[in-house]
Structure 1
Amino acid sequence: MLCPILRRFLISSYRLRAEVAGYCTDNPNMMTIKEVRDSLINMVGVRKKWIIEETKVTGVLQKVVCDQSLLPKRKPSDSYVQAVIPLSDPDNNVRDKYITFAKKIRFGRLLEDFDSLAGLICYNHNLNPALGPDQKSPYAFVTRLVDRIEQSPSKLLSPYKDIILDGQVTWVGRSSMECTMNIKQEIDGELVKVITARYLFVAVLSETSTPGVVNPLDPQTPEEIALFKLGEENKIKRQRETTQSLLKTPPTEDERLIIHDLFLSTVDLNSGTFKVRVKPENTVWMEDAIKKTLLICQPEQRNLYNKIFGGFLMRMAYELAWANASIYARKRPRLCKVVDDILFNKPVEIGSLLLLSSQVVYTKGSDLQIHVHAEVDNLEQGINENTNDFHFTFDMGVPNLPRVIPKTYSESMLYLVGKRHYES
């Protein structure tokens, strides 16, 4: 349960700019994105200095409600959070963190901010009247899935104007919550939505590491009801896609024909054998479109629960994918159009070695589909585990990109997975 937290507002010069742009006027609850993270630390009761022992909230297990019907219903507006990234003030050093060498916005930083904002939204939603105002939440809210992030191709963010993030819980299961969030910026005197994101979080009891029960959601307005129905549809879609995964079922008839045609396009028909492979004009073998990086997971990148912060993993995966796309096209991406279906299979422990492998798996027109696979090597336990898969769609601004061509059957499956993500 959240206790009221007083927020300092922005300096008067920023408030004036905000009023001119038509947002955040006289809002005492407006936070900076840094204050969002500070609030999460306060709610969870995390030590600011790193310790090896995992942070757990104890002594409140008997007050946890296991029957969802006994918890009060919450409106989507109860979880609403709005925050600002103050980039317009030239006197602060925030801009340096968000601006690229090409004077554009660092999209990877926004992925980190989305993850922090979604965490605060989840804590805002959950209310247990049995807990006192000074008691910390018994729950850890962990990112289970980034369902989809879409960026408008016609509206690019500026690193010289303030960025507004907002969002709320729009769908609830028994222990899971879907957060819908937006990034907005003033364009031509009007506050415009530029990016929309949907994250799925899961509640876990900090003391026992078992699934928790979250408050039911009571959507009020037509828009809230529509978003709730969309959440239900997304759940069904995820279940359907899981059963139709190429790891479980063979490709469809149309997909088999696509793979066969691709294979024939790489065979020297004059040789009379399937063994002689040739690369068609304006194509790249998929095996030649791979870039990798190895990271040491340090305490600096920890989250509230002494694991590696999911937003950091997304930023690292995105930046590797961006570099791979740039090398493939010999040109910097115009923008990342879509991020979708980022599944967090396992937490990444501090001290692990994290291997990120980026591969161009599908191309169409000026677009690149890139898959990034993450695995960790735990030196103490001597095990290697898959932790994440990331999918990015880049608009390269080039009308006739070289086509990526699979050579092996496993690469053909990656090609089909990339095609499915691109067309979803």
Structure 2
Amino acid sequence: MRPNDRRETVLIIKRKKRNHHHQQFIFNNMFNNPVCSDHQQAMAERVSLSSMLAKSQNDLPAKRMKDSYLEVHLPLGSEPQLREKYLTFHNTVRFGRILEDLDSLAVLISYSHTYNAALKRSPLSIVTALVDKIDMRQHIIYPDCDIKFTGHVTWVGKTSIEAKMHMSQYRDGAYAPVLDATFVMVARDPENKRAAFVNPLKPEGPEDEKLLQEGEANKSRRVDLSTASLLKVAPTDEERKIVHSLFLNTLDTKTVSFRSRVLPPNSVWMEDAKLKGLEICHPQERNIFNRIFGGFLMRKAYELGWANACSFGGCRPSLVAVDDILFQKPVEIGSLLLLSSQVCYTQGKYIQVRVHSEVFDPLSRQHNTTNVFHFTFTSDRDLFGCVSLMLCRQAKNSRYFQIKSPR
């Protein structure tokens, strides 16, 4: 990934036993080389790195979890100019900016895990495949207090890496936890065309063993969720009862007609709980592959989802969790990025928002899905219910059940 030119973010990175060679290796892969400002020249140089790829995972040395440990400081308290770039109009921290930083840190952690002292540059291209979950430990992020990010690799497959990160903030003389995040990264060849092998992980001690087992459990859970999708499996008896109950609650008993529907008390039609946006993808947001930075996509989706929750609830919502951000396709520079936010489910003070992003090709008139985002917000008061107008449409029903079903 390349740094965003407009941000000029100052991050102080600390790592145990870091040497200058390792630090330069990481930054050569994270950021564009200033000598290779031309993208085509830079990519041509990366193609030559293909010969350095491992033929199998067995050819790579096992790494410890502490080998990839990183500690990053964001000095909001001591850098007023930096603080200005993170401020919301409510004088809190823009969480979209935090998402960008987490995405960059996950890539940095992955490169630390795959570091090879014999190479000046890594042949691997590390990209974000999935944001598995982000759980908020507190709702307020103070704009005048320093932030600390820590994280390391907790599980690896043959070509994938799970990175766990924690964010804390210095206040009242101590660091207090703010959030826990789990990202899944994948390694690709220098041209980002096929998968590449990563170093195996060697646990040391019971704590490492526990984290590794949690990583295996996370993988199994993701597989189970994908196989249980309504696109593959018929609804369960419980789900069918929910659909029938929703149908009866919106049926006009006077006409008993599918065309005449009645909105239940304290409810809003899902059709009226939408918000849309459009982004023109400029080159300032590109990564080293000349595609749009994943953190930028997450920031834009979050801000639209927050605005939708704010409009729906008539209040300023607070983020509770981020779940299952799936990166399906890369977004090219110059793309017209269409973002559609939908309130999917409400319960008490909680709002579940789904944001769908797609690119539109004005020449072919085709739409292609690139990402799906899920955000859970909370309000300071009870909310209206959200009722689907067309229960027979599987897209609406599947959205409802995916949110309502326990993880």
Do both share a fold (TM > 0.5)? Answer: yes
Q: 1:42 offset after TM fit, Å?
A: 2.0
**1:55 alignment counterpart:** 43
| TM-aligned CA deviation for residue 382 of structure 1 | 5.3
Structure 2 residue aligned with 1:21: none
Which residue does the alignment assign to 2:130? 145
Shift of 1:347: 0.4
Q: Using structure 1 for the length normalisation, give the TM-score.
A: 0.86
Q: Is the 8 A contact 1:40 1:119 kept in 2?
A: no
> CA separation in 1, counterparts of 2:90 and 2:311?
16
Moved more, 373-382 or 98-107: 373-382
Distance in 2, Cα, partners of 1:404 & 1:273 = 21
What is residue 404 of structure 1 aligned with on the other side? 386
When residues 376 and 364 of structure 1 are mapped into structure 2, their CA distance, relative to the original with a 3 A threshold, is same
**Using the alignment, how far apart are the partners of 1:296 and 1:38 within structure 2?**
33
Q: How does 1:121-132 map to 2 (within 5 A)?
A: 121-128=109-116, 131-132=118-119
Shift of 1:99: 1.4
TM-superposition CA deviations, 1:109-146 (whole Å, max 9, x none): 000000000111011000346x43x3x11111010000
1:171 equivalent to 2:155? Answer yes
User: Cα deviations across residues 281-302 of structure 1 (Å, max 9, x unaligned)?
Assistant: 1100000101000110000011
Amino acid at match of 2:99: L
1:232-271 pair list within 5 angstroms: 232-271=216-255
Find out whether 1:341 has 2:327 as its counterpart: no
Whole-angstrom distance in 2 between the partners of 1:171 and 1:247: 29
Task: Name the stretch that deviates more: 378-387 or 80-89.
Answer: 378-387
1:93 aligns with 2:81: yes
1:371 to 326, 350, 354: 354
Q: Distance in 2 between matches of 1:51 and 1:25?
A: 31
| Alignment correspondent of 2:7 | none
Divergent runs of 4+, >6 A: 24-30
Moved more, 201-210 or 100-109: 201-210
**Aligned position for 2:272:** 288
Matched residue SS, 1:417: helix
How far off is 1:29 after superposition? 6.3
**Correspondence 1:416 to 2:401:** yes
Percent identity between the aligned chains?
Answer: 42
Q: 1:166 to 1:266 in 2, by over 3 A?
A: same
What residue in structure 1 maps to residue 29 of structure 2?
A: 43
Contact preservation (8 Å) 2:65, 2:208 = yes
After superposition, what is the alpha-carbon deviation per residue over 1:12-59, rounded to whole angstroms, capped at 9, x for unaligned? xx9xxxxxxxxx9998969xxxxxx99755235624586453735132
- Please list every run of 5 or more consecutive structure 2 residues that lacks an aligned counterpart in the other structure: 1-9
Distance 1:65 1:101, change over 3 A: same
1-side partners of 2:368 and 2:178: how far apart?
36
For the 8 Å contact 1:286–1:359, the answer to whether it is kept is yes
TM-superposition CA deviations, 1:326-377 (whole Å, max 9, x none): 00011111x2111010110000000110000000000001000000000002
Structure 1 range deviating more: 258-267 or 174-183:
258-267
Helix, strand or coil at the partner of 1:168: strand
Amino acid at match of 1:406: S
SS in 2 for 1:114: helix
For the structure 1 residues 26 and 326, does the alpha-carbon distance in structure 2 shift closer, same or farther, using more than 3 Å as the test? Answer: closer
Moved more, 180-189 or 144-153: 180-189
Is the counterpart of residue 65 in structure 1 residue 54 in structure 2? yes
In structure 2, C-alpha distance between the alignment counterparts of 1:61 and 1:314, rounded to whole Å: 30
| Structure 1 match to 2:101 | 113
SS, match of residue 112 in structure 1: helix
Measured after TM superposition, the shift of residue 269 of structure 1 is 1.6
Inter-partner Cα distance in structure 1 for 2:94 and 2:364: 35
Does the CA contact (< 8 Å) of 1:178 and 1:200 recur in 2? yes
* Distance in 1 of aligned mates of 2:252 and 2:282: 50
Q: Which moved more, 1:356-365 or 1:300-309?
A: 300-309
Q: How many residues align?
A: 389
Gaps in structure 1 of 5+ consecutive residues? 1-9, 15-23, 31-36
SS in 1 for 2:354: strand
How has the CA–CA distance of structure 1 residues 104 and 44 changed in structure 2, closer, same or farther, with 3 Å as cutoff?
A: closer
1:169 shift after superposition:
0.5
- AA of the residue aligned to 1:121: I
Q: CA RMSD in A?
A: 2.5
